[in-house]
Structure 1
């Protein structure tokens, strides 16, 4: 699995896929959907699909695929290799949702929660398979939210396809187990090879499981918290764990109120302006050629509105 399209820019999401087997364009196929990394505060969430002809279901089962959470890392890697090499009848695709995508979706003015994001990603992957010519007959999905409502939603969107949504589908249907393995292997590789674009020096890779209740993860979050700009793009800053640490350890920001006067306004004059953090050097004209934009903005490719 080549993850270079994602490695090039950790801030964006992307889709990676195998070639479509010819047989999947001529025979009725089944498709499974599952995700990896829904709960961690670190790294991306990855959705995976795997598909094969209905006539090959038993052959897929005999490959001994299983829920990725019950397998060791080595077992997952070996099984993914098996799936990837079965190009004559098995296809797969993964959609990588970056931490930036997750956080900005959840914090935007019009809330786009994780369930809605998950549903839309799964729908997009089913549509990708259809657009690629896969002759889908059956779709099996691990539920997000109430299973019956999700199943009804997908059935209306994809009439003519038999949709089955079940809790723990990754342990019930081999094709979902296979999708679970694809998603988990992709996420593990991305997290291990994460390209930190921020200037953090030699980054400590011992961040534990990435889950909020892991002491190692909490320690890592404390270590790499910038008191002004928060966290590197590896962190989902919309998670309550990250927000709580930013609130307690970060610099307090007072937003200027143009209508404010009297004693409060006088007190504000002694506060350091938020604008003082926006450039690498203090003082001087913002337009001076020697003045550099703070790395926070360079790393995120942000520009002043006046420069656009």
Structure 2
């Protein structure tokens, strides 16, 4: 990656400063977690959610909504976020559960799992028992006692949510690449399970494989 210098570096640092505004608005919360998910819409594979707690003074250049980043950039940011985070967790809910309880409830469950895992990591490090505030990307998670703030397009507005966005997206992409090896012919490594024309054509020709969401593909098979 090209190193930022001069005016470009200043511009990037200012962008990141603005992405700390939600976190900085709550100095009373020692640990603030960002929550985001990946994979709500695909025809195949799990839904993945991440919870990420960053230090208040963290600096991660280029961090943004994962959808706005190239695959190369996301892959580079993934280990940096993991390294610099105080704690993080990733929740994965499979396609069978999605069919059983519906995608929205599966999404919520993935988020609750991610929060519990991040809390466990925080506690193992001797820092605390749980985040004191959740910044969520456009949702309010039921069954969670921690105070929450839902932020529309939060993955582009909050550094914590952006970090969770990267963790969730890259984790899911890696899973779909493994599934591509297990179930060749569908193109999972390329489209990650989303309903592209090529994926739908393969689905019609090959029929569903074990990771297809039956409740999502009824009109195609």
Q: Which runs of structure 1 show a deviation greater than 6 angstroms over 4 or more consecutive aligned residues?
A: none
| Runs (5+) with no aligned partner, structure 1 | 1-26, 106-111, 145-149, 226-230, 247-308
Which has the larger share of helix? 2
Structure with more relative contact order (C-alpha pairs < 8 Å, separation 6 or more) = 2
Match of 1:297 in 2: none
CA contact (8 A) 1:196 1:234 kept: no
Q: CA deviation at 1:194?
A: 1.3
Q: 94, 97, 110: which one pairs with 1:121?
A: 110
Find out whether 1:222 has 2:204 as its counterpart.
Answer: yes
Seen in structure 2, the aligned counterparts of structure 1 residues 206 and 117 have a Cα distance that, compared at 3 Å, is: closer
C-alpha change, 1:205 and 1:218, in structure 2 (3 Å) is closer
Structure 1 residue 167: Cα displacement: 1.7
Q: Which residue of 2 aligns with 1:211?
A: 194
Distance 1:37 1:120 in 2: 13
The TM-score, its normalising length taken from structure 2, stands at: 0.74
Report the Cα distance in structure 2 between the residues aligned to 1:28 and 1:81, rounded to whole angstroms: 24
Aligned match of 1:67? 65
Deviation at 1:83, TM superposition (A): 1.5
Provide the residue aligned with 1:37 in structure 2. 39
Distance 1:57 1:94 in 2: 21
- Residue 74 of structure 2 corresponds to residue 76 of structure 1: yes
How far apart, in 1, do the equivalents of 2:90 and 2:43 lie? 20
Q: Helix, strand or coil for the counterpart of 1:244?
A: coil
Equivalent residue of 1:57, what SS? Answer: coil
Q: Greater shift after overlay, 129-138 or 67-76?
A: 129-138
2:90 to 94, 116, 128: 94
Q: Which runs of 5+ in 2 are unaligned?
A: 1-28
TM-score, normalization: structure 1? Answer: 0.54
CA distance in 2, matches of 1:206, 1:121: 25
Spell out the pairing of 1:1-308 with structure 2 (5 A cutoff): 28-52=30-54, 56-60=55-59, 62-86=60-84, 89-103=85-99, 105=100, 112-132=101-121, 133=123, 134=128, 135-144=130-139, 150=140, 153=142, 157-158=144-145, 161-194=146-179, 203-206=184-187, 209=191, 210-212=193-195, 214-225=196-207, 231-239=208-216, 242-246=217-221
Deviation at 1:195, TM superposition (A): 6.7
Deviations 1:51-84 (A, max 9, x none): 13xxx32324x43310000001110010012122
Bigger Rg over Cα: 1
Is the contact between residue 32 and residue 175 of structure 1 (CA under 8 Å) also seen in structure 2?
A: yes
Query: What is residue 16 of structure 2 aligned with on the other side?
Result: none
In the alignment, the residues of structure 2 paired with residue 70 and residue 196 of structure 1 have an alpha-carbon distance, to the nearest angstrom, of 27
Post-superposition offset of 1:185: 0.5
